[in-house]
Amino acid sequence: MSVETERSSTASSAASGLDFEDTALTLRLPGSSSSSSDTDRKRASTTDPDRRAPATESPPSPKARVVGWPPVREFRKNALAAAAAAAASSKAKFVKVAVDGAPYLRKVDLEAYPGYDQLLAALQDKFFSHFTIRKLRNEEMKLVDAVSGTEYVPTYEDKDGDWMLVGDVPWKMFVETCQRLRLMKSSEAVNLAPRAAR
Amino acid sequence: MGFGPGRSQSFFLVLAAARSEKLGGRGSHVQIGYEWQMCFFVCLLISCWFLGERNNLETGRKRIPSCSSSSKAVLGEGTMTYFPEEVVEHIFSFLPAQRDRNTVSLVCKVWYEIERLSRRSVFVGNCYAVRAERVALRFPNVRALTVKGKPHFADFNLVPPDWGGYAGPWIEAAARGCVGLEELRMKRMVVSDESLELLSRSFPRFRALVLISCEGFSTDGLAAIASHCKLLSELDLQENEVEDRGPRWLSCFPDSCTSLVSLNFACIKGEVNAGLNLSYAPTLDASDLTKMISRCVKLQRLWVLDCISDKGLQVVASSCKDLQELRVFPSDFYVAGYSAVTEEGLVAISLGCPKLNSLLYFCHQMTNAALITVAKNCPNFTRFRLCILEPGKPDVMTNQPLDEGFGAIVRECKGLRRLSISGLLTDKVFMYIGKYAKQLEMLSIAFAGDSDKGMMHVMNGCKNLRKLEIRDSPFGDAALLGNVAKYETMRSLWMSSCNVTLKGCQVLASKMPMLNIEVINEWDGCNEMEENHGELPKVEKLYVYRTTAGARDDAPNFVKIL
């Protein structure tokens, strides 16, 4: 088929392609342009890195999912997810957590949490029920002891032995590289490794 | 009449064939054109038998104790006097296929009676095509009943919950009229615990229960089956939504239960000669997997995940020369993800497994060249389902639509009965399908085609089409109404997210009163549709099926039956 034929069929399906948008079943990946989904399909190739990246980094936004597609029974999807989860949960990563001023350390399994927020919430639960988590404008995370007013900064030791501020790198990378955690008093947290440039 | 019995039978058979063409799909749903062959065959059978038995027939044994009086009257008129019921019944026993039994039922009233009372197995492809009571009344001596409920796309969440497909009426009707029932098979139906309880108590000879992709019951219902079905030999539960109330039901099998031979809970373990199902094992190491499979040289059926990779498929191709069915399921459901199987694995399989006739293949990329090669290597496909995970994806090498590839499949595989297509496809592929896929019975279409012409090619060309299911394709009212008589010969049509309007559906309903036109709108009430009448609102989901039962009375409020 010539390219011209392709374009004209794109046009005709683009005209009816309104329906695709109306029914809110789009194939666009997060962040892609609002051109007709047909054009996207025809130009795409597997080697296009932009297409691949979003899927591997994080789950596609709802817009990128099509109802009832791929045609696999729910039973099978659930069974597979359960099997994969069972396999994944056998891989745990326990690291020591030290809090300045606390008499003993704790351990947390980093693999058990999907992200930073959940980890901090868990630390809060484990150590002090009166911590609050404050997120500052520049996305720095701090744990604040509501009773004493002491601020704690979560830090971690990476594979190179450096002490880093928690929250700079993507979660998965953090889980891989983190060796131990330390909730450092803010007053002492002045000499940490500089934040990676955004 | 000057006719001898042999010739009068032939006369009736020819008459029946002519009549049944007019009847088309009503009642017994006989295939047009097919019954010519069957009538000839039956005629031959009768004639051969008659030639051998001629000398014994003058006594004219006419015992037909279970026939109605009307058939006796027919009998008295001298058309069937030389064939005792047992003989005819014996001849019918050579025709186990439902199609053939339906055909012979049409010959005359006496044959209808004999056939229905001796029918052992009934298949109902659409539970709403006929009333349960009617089936139970017609076939009181049935031993094996199969009923299917929801449309196929219900498996993929396209049919809203509470749509229907209730098993209750069928089990109740059978409990009243068919106490000799031994086997019940149900697919995509809603089965309640109460129904299972009723089932377990109503049929003293019940021995086999098969539930596939059903829902609505819990392990309590299974406990009833285990407790009361003393002769149970087969319990097959595949991919059902079962509410798990604990393992107590397993201990309900009585200690004296020695009859159970087949117990299947979605996974097959054990003997790997006939079939191997590894499609629920994502953690199997690929090399262990291939090592194991390379030893299964007699394997006929293999279900795996795409983790097996193209390399693994090459091992399968070189080891499993008897392979007839292959299913490769996706382990990653994201449409833009990565898969270890590509078109190369499929080509390898087609080269190494010449007996392959059934394929379900999920992958992320395909080429026309690969499909053309596969078609040449495996012309014996009866079922070919290819699912490229990214909708509308073209040939990964040439960026062309996959029309030519699928065209080759339908052209070479003359016995193809089931086809699912995917990837970037234009109206051309449908032209090929309409032209070549003459044995095709079921076609699944998603994100394909350019215009109404596509669907029209299929409706006009595929003579044996029974089930057509379409989603997200630009087919509208013109295609829906292009060949309305066709729907009478089909079991059902499903169209979702297409361009069909309510007006089109109403026109179809008015032209074809023997069809149920179900318009399914999950969120809109019917009112909104009528208000927007002038703007021709699109119908979100449409399900059309032939029926002798009229509009069903168990439809939820989001289903409008025209």
Please report the pLDDT score of residue A142 as a whole number: 76
| Interface mutation target, options A80, A89, A90, A91, chain B, most CBs of B under 10 Å | A80
Closest alpha carbon within chain B to A50: B336
State how far residue B362 is from chain A, nearest Cα, in angstroms.
Answer: 9
Strands across the sheet containing B121-124: B121-124, B144-148, B183-187, B208-212, B234-238, B262-265
Parallel, antiparallel or unpaired: strands B325-329 and B301-305 = parallel
Give the least confident one: A139-143, A185-189, B234-238.
A139-143
pLDDT digits (tens, 9 = 90+) for B106-133: 998 989 999 999 999 999 999 999 999 9
Please report the pLDDT score of residue B238 as a whole number: 84
Question: What is the interface size between A and B, counted as CB pairs within 8 Å?
Answer: 132
- For residue A151, pLDDT beyond 60: yes
Tell me how far apart the alpha carbons of residues B221 and B186 are, in angstroms, rounded to a whole number.
15
> Burial, A62: exposed, middle or buried (Cβ in 10 Å; 0-12, 13-18, 19+)?
exposed
Please report the pLDDT score of residue B277 as a whole number: 81
> Burial, B176: exposed, middle or buried (Cβ in 10 Å; 0-12, 13-18, 19+)?
middle
Closest CA to B293 of B344, B359, B353: B353
- For residue B352, pLDDT beyond 90: yes
For residues B225-264, b (16+ Cβ closer than 10 Å) or e, as one string? bbbbbeebbebebbbbebeeeeeebeebbeeeeeeeeeee
Please report the pLDDT score of residue B453 as a whole number: 96
Please report the pLDDT score of residue A90 as a whole number: 67
DSSP state for residue B429 in the 8-state scheme: H
Q: Which band of pLDDT confidence, cut at 50, 70 and 90, is reported for residue A4?
A: very low
Provide φ and ψ at B164, rounded to 5°.
145, -150
CA angle A189, A192, A193 (to 5 degrees): 165
Contact B283 A25 (CB under 8 A): no
Share of chain A above pLDDT 90, in %: 13
Interface of A with B in 36-55 (CB under 8 A): 37-38, 41-42, 44-46, 51-52, 54-55
- For residue A194, pLDDT beyond 60: no
Closest CA to B152 of B208, B95, B213, B206: B213
Higher pLDDT, B79 or A171: A171
Rg (CA), chain A: 23
Set of chain B residues whose Cβ sits within 8 Å of the Cβ of A41 = 390-394, 424
User: Full-prediction pTM beyond 0.90?
Assistant: no
DSSP bridge partners of B499:
B476
Tell me how far apart the alpha carbons of residues B224 and B221 are, in angstroms, rounded to a whole number.
5
Q: Which residues contact B333 (CB under 8 A, 6 or more apart)?
A: A70, A72, A77, B389
pLDDT digits (tens, 9 = 90+) for B275-309: 778 887 777 777 788 888 888 888 899 999 988 88
Task: Please name the member of A16, A37, A77 whose beta carbon is closest to the beta carbon of B499.
Answer: A16
A114 token code pair: 């999907």
Please report the pLDDT score of residue B284 as a whole number: 72
DSSP state for residue B507 in the 8-state scheme: H
Task: Please name the member of A12, A23, A66 whose beta carbon is closest to the beta carbon of B451.
Answer: A12
pLDDT digits (tens, 9 = 90+) for B392-451: 999 999 999 999 999 999 999 999 999 999 999 999 999 999 999 999 999 999 999 999
Cβ atoms within 10 Å, residue B134: 12
Please report the pLDDT score of residue B545 as a whole number: 97
State how far residue A70 is from chain B, nearest Cα, in angstroms.
Answer: 6
Please report the pLDDT score of residue B54 as a whole number: 47
Parallel, antiparallel or unpaired: strands B418-420 and B442-446 = parallel
ipTM score of the complex?
0.76
pLDDT digits (tens, 9 = 90+) for A65-109: 678 899 999 888 888 887 777 766 667 889 999 988 888 888 898
- For residue A35, pLDDT beyond 90: no
Please report the pLDDT score of residue B112 as a whole number: 93
pLDDT digits (tens, 9 = 90+) for B39-57: 655 665 565 555 444 434 4
Q: How many CA atoms lie less than 13 Å away from B557 in the CB half-sphere? A: 5
Q: Does A7 touch chain B (CB under 8 A)?
A: no
Judged by DSSP in three states, B191 sits in coil
Query: What is the mean predicted confidence (pLDDT) over B4-21?
Result: 43
Task: Please name the member of B213, B283, B499 whose beta carbon is closest to the beta carbon of A83.
Answer: B283
Give the least confident one: A130-134, A190-194, B140-144, B530-534.
B530-534
Which runs of E-coded beta strand occur in chain A? 94-99, 106-109, 131-135, 141-145, 151-157, 163-165, 180-185
Interface of A with B in 142-161 (CB under 8 A): none
